[in-house]
Structure 1
Amino acid sequence: MNASKYIALICLFVAHFSFAGVDLVKVDKSESKMYLLDSGQIVKEYDVAFGANPKGHKVQEGDEKTPEGTYTLDYKKEDSSFYRAMHISYPNKQDIENAAKRGVSPGGFIMVHGQRNWLGWFAPITQSFNWTNGCIALSNSEMDEFMDLVSLGTEIQIEW
């Protein structure tokens, strides 16, 4: 093996093991995009679907809005009705207080998830419009990648 092949192998090895992982998930609802970042650099970009009424912050259960703000991805759900899922820590203390002032439930169980079970093949169509009840949807293959790249405890920032 010549020197250039050794150098190429060393570079691949270093590149593979220098990736520390995703330290931030950033969601831009106005563009229907989700970005995985590591030290401020975009590692991966996804086209995503949201709740049927995506503009604005989630105020109450059933409003079909995806929350806005900073949350944490706090647990994985492998027995989800939507292929695989990772939970977003909504509602936070402020969300609960704001809902209580209105006399409503803030809702909850907001996830980043794949397609409804048995309908993954339908993703090219479903991902072209907002169809969830307030969650963030990916295709199933993208959800597999997301689960591999994003660790529990990672911050997620969702904004319009």
Structure 2
Amino acid sequence: MTIDRRKFLLAAPALLAACSGRQLLSYNGPKVTSIMAFKQQRKMYLLHGNKALKSYPFQLGFTPVGHKQFEGDGKTPEGTYIIDRRNPNSSYHLSVGISYPNDRDRAFAEAHGKRPGGDIFIHGTPSDVLGKKDWTAGCIAVTNEEVEEIYAMVGDYTPVFVKA
């Protein structure tokens, strides 16, 4: 019996979560084909084609206006990315990684003699920041219950479109 690499990588987070004792939600509905996040409206949609399956309000980086350009600028990236990793043991309950920086982001930062930053996620919210507005270092934060749904519904390689 052989297990291809992609299936193993997609199953690994569930195995890790099982070992950690955390019970992850499962999802058997329509496939999430993309994520649209609108920063100004603070609204994120999980889509199947052009139909919204779920929507979530969210918090942003502590400097919410504008595209992330440099490490430490507190901005949330704008552009087209993919879900490229997941962390069942996140400090922020659960998290799914967004593929920032892309080649264009890296080139821009390097042209200015700076680093683009990274580690951008959709993640949950620790209790010490509940009710605060735009507190992340550039991530998209939802409630812990919401990130559990997102973690179950969204697969790796799902396109993420973040708009101003």
2:147 equivalent in structure 1: 143
Cα distance in 2, alignment partners of residues 146 and 140 from structure 1: 10
1:105 equivalent in structure 2: 115
Cα distance in 1, alignment partners of residues 40 and 76 from structure 2: 12
Deviation at 1:54, TM superposition (A): 1.2
What does residue range 1-160 of structure 1 map to in structure 2 within 5 Å? 19-116=29-126, 119=127, 123=130, 125-126=131-132, 129-160=133-164
Question: Runs of 4+ in structure 1 displaced over 2 angstroms?
Answer: none
1:7 equivalent in structure 2: none
TM-score (ref. length: structure 1): 0.82
- In the alignment, structure 1 segments of 5+ residues that lack a partner are 1-15
CA deviations on 1:55-81 (whole Å, 9 max, x unpaired) are 111010000000000000011111211
Deviation at 1:94, TM superposition (A): 0.5
TM-score (ref. length: structure 2): 0.80
Cα distance in 2, alignment partners of residues 26 and 101 from structure 1: 29
- Which residue identity does 1:104 align to in structure 2? K
Across the aligned residues of Structure 1 and Structure 2, the Cα RMSD in angstroms comes to 1.5
Cα distance in 1, alignment partners of residues 68 and 89 from structure 2: 25
Matched residue SS, 2:44 = strand
Cα distance in 1, alignment partners of residues 41 and 125 from structure 2: 20
- Which residue identity does 1:57 align to in structure 2? H
Matched residue SS, 1:25 = strand
Deviation at 1:20, TM superposition (A): 2.8
Q: Between Structure 1 and Structure 2, which shows a larger proportion of helix residues?
A: 1
Cα distance in 2, alignment partners of residues 54 and 105 from structure 1: 19
- Which residue identity does 2:45 align to in structure 1? Y
Larger radius of gyration: 1
CA deviations on 1:112-144 (whole Å, 9 max, x unpaired) are 00013xx28x63x13xx1110000001000000
- Which residue identity does 2:42 align to in structure 1? S
- Which residue identity does 1:115 align to in structure 2? T
